[in-house]
A = this chain, B = another copy of it.
Amino acid sequence: MEKTKNIEYGCPVEATLGVIGGKWKPLILWQLKEDVLRYNTLQQMLPGISPRMLTKQLRELEDDGIVNRKMYPEIPPRVEYSLTDFGKTIIPVLEALAQWGLTYMDIRQEKDMK
């Protein structure tokens, strides 16, 4: 079993980045924004992610109360991931990040041109 992190956040901005930051979490959350998805589907929507990473990020999001994991006791197994009600409160934040990112990419585009 891997050790789970338990960081003390002094600053609320850091706290948020601790939850949604990293390479994969924004992408995972973006996919779950308005869909309920199974493990394999999620993996297919995130090209290049390894099962280890996908599981790790999902577990952390689960521990943070963002993501809900629903397991069906079938064979073959089926597991569905979705945002919790609390998880949904982060969508506007993600959209603010995306919005600013778009204008930033435009600016960079121009600068890199000349």
Contacts and interface: CB of A to CB of B under 8 A. Distances in A.
Interface of A: 9, 11-17, 19, 21, 26-27, 30, 64-65, 86, 89-90, 92-94, 96-105, 107, 111
A21 B17 contact: yes
Copy total for this chain = 2
A15 B103 CA distance: 10
Contact of A100 (B21, B27, B90): B90
Contacts of A92: 96
Contact of A14 (B11, B16, B26): B26
A103 B107 CA distance: 33
A99 B11 CA distance: 11
B97 A13 contact: yes
